[in-house]
Amino acid sequence: MMHVRMTRLLISLVATLLLLAGTAWAQHKAEKVFTAIVTDAQGVETEVKNILFYWEEKVSETAFVPHELKQVPVKRGTATVNVRFDTIKQIDVKTGPDKTPPVFIITLTNGKTGEFALAIAGSFKGESDFGEVELPANGLKKIVFK
């Protein structure tokens, strides 16, 4: 009787571990990595692998919370729209006067185009052939997703 309970407990434990391992593997496999060719305001092109939209939220005078997104937060009227990287083909950037957010002309993979103001001052960061790179959004001309 005790042997049967121990066997059932062991089988249950192994099944749980396999389920958790499978879920973790599926989540890891689902993490898509994006690559883009980014052109800055000086016309310099940089291939950025594992590109993310990065910004820091100030929570006190000395503390910041970093945010890394696979989407671009833009304004459409009063709404904030988070345009996912997997839907974007290209972003053309128009810079405005100092302290105003740049305007993004986003072309989706389905061909639709829209013009939006960047909702959050941030940058695009990732890996280049020479190391980690961070490119402020207000200093860009174009981003072409591969």
- pLDDT, tens digit, 9 for 90 and up, residues 40-66: 999 999 999 999 999 999 999 999 999
pLDDT at residue 5 in the model: 53
For 102-114, what is each residue's pLDDT tens digit? 999 999 999 999 9
The ranges of the chain with pLDDT < 70 are: 1-30
Strand-pair category, 79-84 with 71-76: antiparallel
- Report whether 133 contacts 48 (CB < 8 A): yes
